[in-house]
Amino acid sequence: MIKRGVSLYSYQQSQFFKKLDLKGQIREVREGLGTDGIEIIDEAAIPHYPFPSEEFIYDWHSYMARYRMKAVTMDVYMDVHQFRDHVMTHEEAAEHLKQDIMLAHKLGFRNVRTLVLVPTDVIEMCIPTAEKYDVRIGKEIHAPWPIKPGGQIKAQKGMAAVVNFRMVDELLELKERTHTDHIGLVPDFGIFQYRPSEVAIDYVKRHAKNPDAVDWILENAANYSHDEILTLVDEKFPGHGIPGSDVERMATHESSAKPEDIIDIIPHIISIHGKFYNMTEIPGQPGHYEDKCIDYETPMKYLRQYGYDGYIDSEFEGQRDQQDRGVEHLVDEVEQVRRHHEMLRRLSGE
Amino acid sequence: MFDDFLIRKDSLKNVTHDGKTVGFCFGVRIADYRGCFLSLHNGYYISVDGVEYPREVQRFGINGKAPRTFEEIKKCCWEHWDFDDEGIVYVEKEGGLTPGVHRVGLQQSVLSQYGYMPWDEEWVKNPPVPGSGAGSGKTANICYYDLKLQEGEVEI
């Protein structure tokens, strides 16, 4: 059964402005959304991470119990420059992940989400810890990664240059080889995003020295390779003033994963990130909402049809593109997540 | 992200030491949706009315401790800058700032990233200079703020 949850990532702006603290966020999920799934960002939700006080841990369990909540997934990171005098080794990265697994266990989480770039051997070193503490390691499938390799051209420039198209295959090979049920996948709905969000386009245009460059990227992205777009925009619009990462997101013209590819990985999914940027009312359907740049309908159909049993946790990310025009233009995160849950309820047949 | 809100609007003040005005300071938040190990914090691009103040004249106050240089911060591998907390950036400038409104440009450098990257070894040897956009975390552009110098000086 598809269950609804929220990554508290969604309320980052409300937390920043002290409008909604950790407890307020949890209460909103129960009272505003009528559900129980909680996902956290370790370095945002846990005071004094990675050494929270015993008082915090007790209080967390108590509060989660009061609202009958489930600690689904804790999102953990791998900052390889932490020690600054050397790049963190894979062994050090594994120690870090083991500590995060133990912390997740202390807080009652069923899963940790590791980043898409965490090397497979780092995950392998952590399997005994994951089994001992009964916390599953879920590797994220994040755009621009695919689920399955299939004719993509390897980029040489930008973020896309580090994409390993076989990431999912390698993780599943590890799972088979080690016979563990404590590793799996966390697909992010961003892999089904097929064009840039309107809120992102508007942001990049406001900051570009030459906004025409943005229109050119939007019109031409489908006709050139990733690397060609990065080169051509510099040639055609010298001094355009758009950071490379923004050129890359403006160039999104097809989803990084095919919706049907999710079918085969359903047994390996530990939880899902419901990424979205901007929920707007569907024309002619009052009270029904959609994100116009992400295909939810097709993957949700497969998740239902093939019996996905787990959580989809809302992950609202549109706020960051609307924080450059004063407080009056800040978006209401609580309302955005409520709209997202209207869609999730509808598409999951709840 | 948090473009308009990285510096608290009413936080710009002059700084005194031993009765002399030695600089200015302001309150900042992290340009990310999560906190960071303090060692990852690599300083700021700061300009005031067009004059740049490099990392070498900056100090950072966080976690109730006295302001530290970014060479000291670099060694704080297990101390954490929590997402909820405001830090104070101290900048050396003899005589401080004049009364009135100043245009402050800011880019924060935090070397957080999502895994191994091709430039990792280079960053150990030569960390990015704040302002270039490299290592600028989730807000790659330089953000500008018109800030009124507040009354009262901060003693360090």
ipTM of the complex: 0.96
The pLDDT value recorded for residue B9 is: 96
Q: Please give the structure tokens belonging to residue A161.
A: 């240059």
Strand ordering across the sheet containing B20-28: B68-69, B58-61, B87-92, B20-28, B13-17, B154-155
Residues above pLDDT 70, as percent of chain B = 100
* Interchain contact, A324 vs B138, CB within 8 Å: no
Q: What is the pTM of this model?
A: 0.96
- Domain boundary assignment for chain A: 2-194+254-347, 196-253
Mutate to test the interface with A, among B32, B37, B72, B74 (most CBs of A within 10 A): B37
**Euclidean distance between CA atoms A114 and A339, whole angstroms:** 27
The pLDDT value recorded for residue B56 is: 97
In angstroms, what separates the C-alpha of A322 from chain B's closest C-alpha? 8
pLDDT at A99 over 90: yes
Chain A residues closer than 8 Å to B36 by CB: 43, 79
In angstroms, what separates the C-alpha of A142 from chain B's closest C-alpha? 11
pLDDT tens-digit profile of A267-311? 999 999 999 999 999 999 999 999 999 999 999 999 999 999 999
Cα separations in angstroms, A279 against A10, A331, B149? 13, 11, 40
Q: Assign A258 to helix, strand or coil.
A: coil
A 193-232 near B (Cβ less than 8 A): 207
User: Could you tell me the fold of the domain covering A2-194+254-347?
Assistant: TIM Barrel (3.20.20)
Cα separations in angstroms, B27 against A104, B12, B94, B106? 32, 7, 20, 12
C-beta of residue B16 within 8 angstroms of C-beta of residue B149: no
Residue A116 touches chain B, beta carbons under 8 Å: yes
**pLDDT bucket at B55, cuts 50 / 70 / 90:** very high
In angstroms, what separates the C-alpha of B22 from chain A's closest C-alpha? 30
**Euclidean distance between CA atoms B48 and B26, whole angstroms:** 12
Chain A residues closer than 8 Å to B83 by CB: 12, 15-16, 43-44
* Interchain contact, A87 vs B121, CB within 8 Å: yes
In angstroms, what separates the C-alpha of A91 from chain B's closest C-alpha? 13
Q: Please give the structure tokens belonging to residue A307.
A: 């019996």
- Domain boundary assignment for chain B: 3-155
* Interchain contact, B33 vs A324, CB within 8 Å: no
A·B CB contacts under 8 A: 113
C-beta of residue B76 within 8 angstroms of C-beta of residue B39: yes
pLDDT tens-digit profile of A306-342? 999 999 999 999 999 999 999 999 999 999 999 999 9
